[in-house]
Structure 1
């Protein structure tokens, strides 16, 4: 949808073109009109202008001066000039100032319509132009480190669905690693910030640590990113080998190189940056699907602490000792289970986003893990954590959206308020919270549909009650507190017709009722339903009903006889 402003000091020309574009089918336009440059500027200051069709010679400010001021407000606006003169100096000045076209008034409305059509095509082309694509690519390149960080952090936190773990995604984000090969994890921590380091300098110094490490590890394939303030992760693979896959010896050499290099990186950070850093290293490479468990193990090493808790070099080898059979379930350790249940936090994102399918898929995965551990006393606290998180999340959501009364009329809400122990088994709890989630999604969807329908009803009522008034898209949008463009799209999506067509239909419908009264003049009928002139009313009426208002009136009177 585009906004068009028509400017001329001759009302006859403005009104004639205004009526033409109101009924134009080529594009949906929001049409404005002004009878002076000053009035045009007031309109342009309030509404974005895509196209301005202006007389070039007007009292006070002329069209070329108006163009300069409009382009200051809306640089992408296309300005078309109308003139009764064919003097070359006018044409030259208009085009030099950035005008798109120059039309003589004697050329007729068809030339004006064609010029506006060309301006719309130009606007559409610019939206897809190389300039914008190039700019988008630059922005993408600048944001890629952040996208890499978000993607890989989600992987290490166990939040990344397996369907997103693909080489094509790595390539898209320019992650220089292979999803077909294992990876080695190194977790780094800046132990202490010196007093002289300003808060604004910390991010820069963390990048400096990353750069030093990357330089030392350059013989390998490496990517690094900060997972939280003062903490950085390195994901490492041996350099690709031409013509053959990685062998065990390649990984042995890679592990030895990384272990031997970490102390050099520590020393370089201390000497060059005056910063103490610690590293926790994987004892062996891991698959991408087990990277989250590996990361959790490295986190535990830092949490345990050793010695002075500074400039440490740690390995998770000792955490890889055979697990106590009493501390595992179906081959899963408590670390594995804690990682699986960490995804409970993702459910809130899906709930708030209205993503029911994703929510239920994640919920069922969590429920499956809970079923595996429900009969083991040592894992009982995990079940308590799950229930508490689910109750807190859904209670918060109900309060936020004002759903408490609606939910209470459909579902027993006592389990949300009572302490644990309401359910006899995890199976009962699982079914309760799953059912409650479905109710919440349904209420939100129904609420959205209801609110949308209310907007549509409000707009239609306003139109019927104000047929003689300004029913521009801007006026209707202000009435329901929406942006004009959004209201236009929403109305067409829900009603299946353009809002301008609905207004015309209602105006003609009311006009037919009024024409039944022979005491009303055609001009009075036209004014009563919002047409500014009997001429335009007759033109639209005949186009839609294939007869003039007077012919319609006579036919109605003949039928009564």
Structure 2
């Protein structure tokens, strides 16, 4: 049993916390309580605890001072703050002290229980402070690298952070490789990190779309290309037996133009809609083909298309398509085959626009359009299909009413649902306060963060119960529950029967 100490100057809060949580079922016991920080500090010298649940605003000694004093002798103590004040300064100072969560009163019971379960998992796994720091550093590293490749950070600011994070990109040229897996991206990334642990001149990270990005760095173009192709292909072959791995290579660029290589690698990824994943797609090969067919010389302003898609202006989109299509038709040397290639490129561009705006990657809605383009027999049919793709892009955008950060959090949950997830970790990842993120998530998804994760994990567990011979305990761990008893409780809550009974029906 992990020991819990509660501190609050309101007696009814303490009494409520004793009653509303089944502490024993969570593997915890309350060993004491106090009405202010000074009393708690003395009591905890005699009765040490693993977890401190404390208010902030209290007489004699407030919660923040209590945390500082206790942490001086018990640095591994897990702290959960309950506060009636939604003050940024309190939140900021609490985060600096390493609290697990900052919960506003009145307490959201499910979020509180979810935080307690997360703390228990951390204690059970004996995660050291070093491990937590490594996780935070990885999140920060991913964020810095992504901003750099998006040209969202100045060279000076990037270099300062790169020095701090141990990112070495001090040679002249870079080439970006992107690996996109069919499923289990978090597990694939861990495998990639293990494989690259002894490799030099390559910086791996995950971007906001969940793709694995490898930035290769060398002093000459040929070495950069050779390393990028060899390592990317080796990783693709190593991981392919267990997953569909799409690997693409951007162009070789000078370090200061790395964003161009990243953009090209992203662009090449989209061609897996019409190409097999049995080999690497190189942007330079696609660019060469486009040059042969004059696709690279289009007088088309894709930024204007993006503006009209974001404005959801179908009429303006249709007029622009008609104008651009008419211009392309009258170009000297235009052929039916070339016009068909152009129509495919148009459709891929719309898919990329949607992905850029929503940070989701679902090629399925566009695959039908590609098939129709291949079967088209007239230029009028081709133009109509491009219009349909434009209209579909707007419709999909209208359905996606979630803010980008909530959509990114949902994508991350779907990919890493079996990991230790919390609003604190995700808030840090996406540069948003955990409290605000929880409120925004609840507003847009109509479920609390904890409810959504539990429901999603249970759906994954049902799938494993139907399709595998794994034991219930193994499935519980596979979907992110380290306590089988809690897994049983959640499964029965969402399904109505126990996992064992469900397996018997399958």
TM-score (norm 1): 0.33
TM-score where L is the length of structure 2: 0.36
